[in-house]
A and B are shown apart, each in its own frame.
Chain A
Amino acid sequence: MLKIKKIEIEGFRGFTQKTPIEFENPITLLYGGNHQGKSSVVNSIEWCLYGDECIGEKSGIRERVGTGEMAWRVVNDNSEKAQVKLEIEGESGLFTITRAEVKGKGKKGKSLKVSLPNGIEKEEEEAEKELVKILRVSFKDFATTVYQHQEAIHDFVIQKPSEQSDVMDRLLGLSDYRNILDGIKRSDIQKIQKEITEEFNKFQIRVQEAIKIRQNDLEDKKSKAKGKGLDEEDLNENKLLKLAQSTIKDIDNFARLLGLKAVPIPALSYSKNSESFITGIKNECNRLWAESPDIKEQSEKQKNRSEIVSLKSKFETQYHNFKAKEKELNDFEIENGNKDEINEKIRKIADEIEAIDREINRISPKAKLVEEGISILTSAAPPEADLCPLCGKKVPGLIEHLQKEWEEIIKTKVEELNKQQRDLNKKKSDLERLNKEYIRLVEDAQREKEGLKKAINNISGFLRKEFSEKDDPAAILSVEIKNIDLRLKEIEDAIKSKRATIDGILERLDMIKLLYEILLLKNKLEQINQIQSTDTYQTQEKIRTDVSNLIRDVEKLGKIIKSCMLREAEQRIDLTRSSIDYYFRKITCNSAFQTLGIKVEEDKKTGGNLYIFEDQDGKRPIPILSQGDLNSLALSIFLGLAKTSEDSHPLGFIVMDDPSQSLDSQEKSRLVEIINEIGDIKSIIVSTMDSELQQLLKNGITKVKSIYKFSDWALTSGPKISKET
């Protein structure tokens, strides 16, 4: 059996400086407070022997899972390189194992050297192989039978009873099975199978809907076809092609009838789209129709007729306007006379006005004189009031006489003349206005006459015919219209039969289109109904089967893994049952337990392992166990496994990291007794922060022991270690 003799740690986790620790005695106690480097010592043994296997998820140790800042780092934060040198002694002599890792160098920075007792040195891959040969214990077994991790006990104590099977599996070294089952369980294969099935179901519904829609469409079209004279037996490709050929023939005949030549139309092919054929026929019908001589003449005649109707309308309007203006002028002349007569009246009135002016001018000096005399006499004093202002003679009653003359003769006469003059001026003004009105009427009549002349010229130009004054353009135009109408009627009769031919062709074209669509629908329905026999459908079916098979295989594999895990658990329990029972009862010393039975069976719910603990009466104690009892159970399983492998196990040492969690003083004392017993067969390394356990170990261990005290850990220098004897 291999035993550890010495370890030299440098730059590993809590260590910075090179630190040697010797394990020359059966029991080695490492003690001190938290974060003083004790665990780094036991971790360094593990790392030196197993390298990266003890790091990360595959280690099965939860605290070592993580990346980046959360990673379990090998190299001390203040060191560039970690190196652990371990000396172990076997029957053949001393082996020296040196493992190192340079920070940040990846694989290149990792190295291993193994020195054999015969002096041969192995390096790197060869060294790894040699180490496997020397140890003969996998990391998983090491982690359960050699190195009791804090975490194993911690988990067992804090897990719910329903989750303790997981911890038990891990305590028994079945982490790989557990992890693999977990990885399979986490995969999305079931979810994806469900998605695939759902997609397929949706597709099936879509197929049914498509069939239904197309069937309805087909029935509808068949009914229309029947209305067009196509029976069920006509709904085939031959009929379609025959209809297409006869349509092309009809187009040719029609073109000949019109004296034209038909443009070649691409033949209808069932495998191709019908659009080019249908569009070709339609376009040709339109072209032949447009180029037909009758249609051309009809179009021309209609255009002429429209022009003549417009000319006639314009002429009639112009004629009417002219006549209206002429009548207006005549009526004016009858009422007011012509231009000369009006001018004569104006001249006479002007003479009369002039005569009145002269009379007023004649009266005016006398009137002025009388007016001044009255004014002078009215303002004179009484004796002078009778004196004549002209001759200075006294004329009695002169003022009265003058006033009477003014009132009765002069004033009346002047007023009358003024009135006559005003009346004459008004008459004159009215006549001048009439004169202007007359001029306007003459101009209007002249303008309308010009317009009429232009309208007649337009008609003459259009008809290419000279008109004499005796001709009535409107009547001539009416005759023209009548003649055109007669010709149009003849043309209309002639094209009616041609239109019927075209309509017949277009109707047949509708029939062709309908028949084509029916055949397409029938074909599509047939295609959908036969979808299951297509390669694509077969492939998708195969894929679904493949997924089901994969799931079935994964399930089968899961069952096999679980059965292997169960079998291995049973074997380990069988081997260790009595030891576990012994250690558990020894540590707990609980009188309630005369025996502690353990059995493992398949969990009917999960298919995993179900561990059942029973007392001597077959009762299950787990629910009533204290945390100390649970810790004792976890320790008992570890010690049981360690004890059981005593003969076959190549490693002659065990490592216990903080084993006294939740144990009371009595239980700690009994644990020390057990450690003392195991010291007979294996050397033991115990790391603890528990000062009570430390004292108990110091005093209770009867074997030779080494005691290392860890204290004053510092960032740059690591722990201070003092050895006690």
Chain B
Amino acid sequence: MGFKEKVQDKIKEDKLRSLWHEICESYEQGGIAQIKASLDSQVDKIKKDYMQQLEDLKKMI
């Protein structure tokens, strides 16, 4: 059993399993840098959406 399966066996939440799957996929595609890039792109998108919401809120005040 490889590291992927070993970690997966320990995960109980679906959400975490999906995150693990994404991380493993990134790792296989481009190693450490790809994991960073993948997580950063997720959170960058969230930040962009967040800043947009905040701008809309600022207009309300």
Contact = CB atoms under 8 A, between A and B. Distances in A.
Q: Do the two shown chains form a genuine complex with each other? A: yes
Interface of A: 56-58, 138, 174, 176-177, 179-180, 182-184, 186-189, 192-193, 195-196, 199-200, 203, 206-207, 210, 527-528, 531, 534, 536-537, 539-540, 543-544, 546-547, 550, 553-554, 556-557, 560-561, 563-564, 567-568
Interface string B25-61: 0111011111110011011101101110110111011
Nearest to B53: A540
17 contacts: A57-B30, A176-B27, A180-B27, A180-B35, A183-B33, A183-B34, A188-B36, A189-B40, A192-B44, A192-B46, A195-B47, A200-B54, A203-B57, A557-B16, A567-B6, A568-B3, A568-B6
Interface residues of B, number: 40
B50 A206 contact: no
Given A183-B34, A547-B43, A557-B16, A540 B60 contact: no
Contact of A189 (B43, B53, B58, B60): B43
A536 B10 contact: no
Contacts of A183: 23, 26-27, 31-36, 39
Contacts of A528: 60-61
Nearest to B10: A560
B21 to A, nearest CB: 11
Nearest to A175: B3
Contact of B43 (A187, A210, A527, A556): A187
Q: List 8 A-B pairs, minimum CB-CB distance, nearest first.
A: A183-B35, A57-B31, A187-B39, A540-B53, A183-B32, A210-B61, A186-B36, A543-B50
Given A528-B61, A534-B60, A543-B53, A564 B3 contact: yes
Contacts of A547: 43, 46, 50
A188 to B, nearest CB: 5
Interface in B1-27: 2-3, 6-7, 10-11, 13, 15-16, 19-20, 23-24, 26-27
Contacts of A199: 50-51, 54
B59 to A, nearest CB: 9
A546 B11 contact: no
A564 B10 contact: yes
Contact of A57 (B6, B15, B33): B33
A557 B47 contact: no
A190 to B, nearest CB: 9
A653 to B, nearest CB: 23
Nearest to B2: A138
Given A200-B54, A557-B16, A176 B3 contact: yes
B49 to A, nearest CB: 6
A59 to B, nearest CB: 9
B39 A553 contact: no
Given A56-B31, A179-B35, A543-B50, 9 more contacts: A176-B3, A183-B23, A183-B34, A188-B40, A189-B40, A199-B54, A527-B60, A531-B60, A563-B10
A550 B26 CA distance: 17
A188 B39 CA distance: 8
A556 B16 CA distance: 8
A534 B54 CA distance: 12
Contacts of A186: 32-33, 35-36
Given A57-B32, A183-B27, A557-B16, A550 B42 contact: yes
Contacts of A207: 61
A499 B47 CA distance: 62
A278 to B, nearest CB: 25
A568 B2 CA distance: 10
Contacts of B33: 57, 183, 186
A550 B46 CA distance: 11
A380 to B, nearest CB: 136
A568 B53 CA distance: 45
Contacts of A200: 54
B31 to A, nearest CB: 3
Contacts of B19: 550, 553-554, 557
Contacts of A193: 43
Contact of B31 (A58, A195, A553, A556): A58
Contact of A203 (B27, B31, B44, B58): B58
Contacts of A56: 31
A197 to B, nearest CB: 10
Contact of A184 (B3, B23, B30, B54): B23
B57 A540 contact: yes
Contacts of B16: 553, 556-557, 560
Nearest to A183: B35
Contacts of A195: 47
A178 to B, nearest CB: 9
A188 B3 contact: no
Given A189-B43, A536-B56, A553-B19, A196 B50 contact: yes
Contacts of B3: 174, 176-177, 564, 568
Nearest to B30: A57
Contacts of A176: 2-3, 27
Contacts of B11: 557, 560
A293 B46 CA distance: 70
Contacts of A174: 3
B26 to A, nearest CB: 7
B7 A543 contact: no
Contact of B27 (A58, A188, A556, A563): A58
Contacts of A196: 47, 50
Nearest to A214: B61
B44 to A, nearest CB: 7
A546 to B, nearest CB: 6
A203 B53 CA distance: 11
B23 A179 contact: no
B23 to A, nearest CB: 6
A638 B26 CA distance: 30
B1 to A, nearest CB: 10
Given A531-B57, A537-B57, A180 B23 contact: yes
Contacts of A184: 23, 35, 39
Contacts of B50: 196, 199, 540, 543-544, 547
Contact of A182 (B26, B32, B47): B32
Nearest to A189: B43
Contacts of A531: 57, 60-61
**Which of A528, A540, A563 has the most B CB atoms < 10 Å from its CB?**
A540
Contacts of A543: 46, 49-50, 53
Given A183-B33, A184-B39, A531-B60, A553 B15 contact: yes
Nearest to A524: B61
A56 B34 CA distance: 13
B38 to A, nearest CB: 8
Nearest to A561: B7
Nearest to A193: B43
